[in-house]
A and B are shown apart, each in its own frame.
Chain A
Amino acid sequence: MMLEIKNLHVKLEEEDTVILKGLDLTVEAGTMHAIMGPNGSGKSTLAYVLSGREGYEVTDGSITFDGEDIMDAEPEERAAAGLFLAFQYPVEIPGVGNMTFMRTALNAQRKARGQDEISAPDFMKLVREKAKSLNIGADMLKRPVNMGFSGGEKKRNEILQMAILEPRMCVLDETDSGLDVDAMKLVADGVNALRSPDRSFLVITHYQRLLDHITPDVVHIMVDGRVVESGGPDLALRVETEGYADLVGSAA
């Protein structure tokens, strides 16, 4: 099993607010899972907790990645193990070049896995090849990380990092938000190009439209910190036409 989440309870560290209330989720290797849910259902919290962000307290339950308990692992350790989070709001980092950032990240992961660093020419070649298919030009690569990028450029830059780092478990947090139709298509093509039997995806989205381009194997509906229903791609279409109202009711 790639990712197994059992009875996960999470609250904010500084407050009493409980966000995840017994979430169960299993993602098999090579599959594409989608999580849909209304605002405030805890989707982004799940993404952050998976990536190891500070500020959340797991009060119960477990997360195992490749059979290993990752609850105490640092974010960089999770990344080196093959977990990737595409941010809903990719962070701007003034003064750090996009290329330098990606190369540092790739080499840090390789080092953590006991592999040799990638040479500068090999890295350049790799980036050029991956950037081309995402329509990312030299200018975006030269600029500081995400600085002056449009919303769509930021999301494409996330997918570029994913393509370069080649994680085995990709978590995409509302990657479709703020994208126009063309940008959505580019991002979806980028994701589809990465699909493989040993790579899994967890796509978090509020709307069904991304799923027109990325066909999920399993769709989960999340309401109030729990998965309340799971099914095939049809489930996403049903939510699109009927809304979350009935499902919210069933969770209460």
Chain B
Amino acid sequence: MATDAKRRDAEALLHHLPLPDAEAGWAREARAAARARLLDAGAPARRDEYWKYTDPRPLAAPLRPVEEGEASPEIASQFGDVRPRRQRFVNGVYRADLSDDRGQEGLRIARLRDVLRQDIGFAREVFGRIEAAGHEKVARPLAMLNTAAAREGLALHATGRPAEPVHLRHDQIGEGASLLHHVIRVEPGAELVLLESGFASNSVIEVDVADGGSFHHVRIQEGKRAAEAAHLFARIGARARFKSFTFTADGALTRNETVIEFAGDGATGHVAGAIMGEGDAHIDNTVFVTHGSQGCESRQVFKHVLTGEAKGIFQGKIFVRPIAQKTDGFQMSQAVLLSDGAEFAAKPELEIYADDVKCSHGSTTGALDETALFYLRSRGVPYPQAEAMLVAAFVDEAIREIELETVADAMRGHVQAWMAARG
């Protein structure tokens, strides 16, 4: 239960965000429930244990609408040679005129605004539901706020194996805040590759991966940008596969919350990140994996490269319910600090209530290996190049989590470009 102050702050957040009108009854109920959750949890505050390393104030400020702005119709490919179907948002508004054709065999895409005005079964089961289930042990009020108020986003329904990946691209021009909320259902045996890039102040993706389904998410967060909170909630069915990889470079404040729960036996869920920060970048990855079924395998691999005064945060939890025997949980967070001013904080947590499980976590922080640097230089490799080679090797363990080789190579290119461009 929130303190009075936290509740007042939560009310202030909602005050600026009236409920969207003309929505179906079930959608209005989901909105109202999210509102109630938020008031109950209260706004995030600096004193919260959950916000120990990241000041939530830039994320929890009353949201101002985004100013007018227009994005270029052309955008460079950030994912290498893959030709995804682009779905674009500019300043928090879906832009059909800038997007590719939505139709594809095995995949239906609709605008969230339209879905919430109808009675569409899968959306009812996903919208606000998977987010609501993702607050075990700790509340994530910014996601509740998003469910209560976000007007834009897409609903993706994978019923087969679409030939082309979908690329969600969010552009924000000018100051202000944009909220986006996407709901996704991958039906039994179906699969979806979702690429994501750009910026939204507060985003939520809810994914329901049914039994034997496969969901692969690759996200790029880069360039100069304001504070953002990006949430990914997933429910993973039996024998289903879930993968999410994020490349994050710089940015004022990035808080990525990834919350996944195994809801069926024999599934796998991997969450990985390659984080590059310079200047006064602040990048926080908070991951919560719940093993609620038997024989599931989870893996968290986060690699940070920090220089200047940049700060990297990793909070990762593996929570194993009593029923979840034969759980295989792995968590690794590592940081290489290239300057004296860079900082990394890791908070690994295991909470295990089953007795026949295998869970491990590890975290390391340090400079690049001086001996290896000298060895490379003694063979003629100049210092910056030697440093870039060792950084690329360090980060690669996270990049190898990407199954699409061309996309993985594109991420290696982003790492290289960041190393070459850093001040």
Contact = CB atoms under 8 A, between A and B. Distances in A.
A108 B375 contact: no
B83 to A, nearest CB: 27
Contacts of B386: 76
A105 interface: yes
Interface in B358-395: 369-372, 374-383, 385-386, 389-390, 392-394
B40 interface: no
B396 interface: yes
A109 B382 CA distance: 9
A118 interface: no
Interface string A87-108: 1001111111000011011101
A95 B396 contact: yes
Interface in B125-165: none
A79 B394 contact: no
A91 B380 contact: no
Nearest to A86: B378
B380 A112 contact: yes
Nearest to A53: B374
Given A75-B374, A104-B385, A96 B380 contact: no
B380 A165 contact: yes
Nearest to A87: B375
Contacts of B385: 104, 108
B375 A91 contact: yes
A104 B382 contact: no
A96 B390 contact: yes
Given A91-B371, A93-B372, A104-B385, A75 B378 contact: yes
Which of the listed residues B370, B372, B390, B397 has the most CB atoms from chain A within 10 Å of its own CB? B372
A52 B380 CA distance: 12
B390 A93 contact: yes
Interface in B325-384: 369-372, 374-383
A105 B381 contact: yes
A105 B381 CA distance: 5
Interface string A62-90: 00000000000011101110001101001
Given A75-B374, A91-B371, A91-B375, A108 B381 contact: yes
Contacts of B397: 95
Contacts of B377: 52, 74-76, 79
Nearest to A110: B380
Nearest to B370: A54
Contact of A76 (B382, B390, B394): B382
Given A87-B375, A91-B375, A93-B375, A108 B380 contact: yes
A94 B374 contact: no
B377 to A, nearest CB: 4
A161 interface: yes
Contacts of A91: 369, 371-372, 374-375
A165 B381 CA distance: 12
A85 B383 CA distance: 17
Contacts of B378: 51-53, 75-76, 78-79, 84-85, 87
Nearest to B394: A95
B374 A74 contact: no
B379 A79 contact: yes
Given A96-B392, A109-B379, 9 more contacts: A75-B377, A76-B380, A76-B381, A79-B378, A80-B380, A91-B371, A93-B372, A101-B389, A112-B382
Query: Closest 7 interchain pairs by CB?
Result: A95-B393, A79-B380, A105-B379, A109-B380, A91-B375, A75-B377, A76-B377
27 contacts: A51-B378, A75-B378, A76-B386, A78-B378, A79-B380, A80-B380, A87-B378, A90-B375, A91-B374, A92-B372, A93-B369, A93-B390, A95-B390, A95-B392, A95-B397, A96-B392, A96-B393, A102-B379, A104-B381, A105-B379, A105-B380, A105-B381, A108-B379, A108-B381, A112-B380, A145-B375, A161-B379
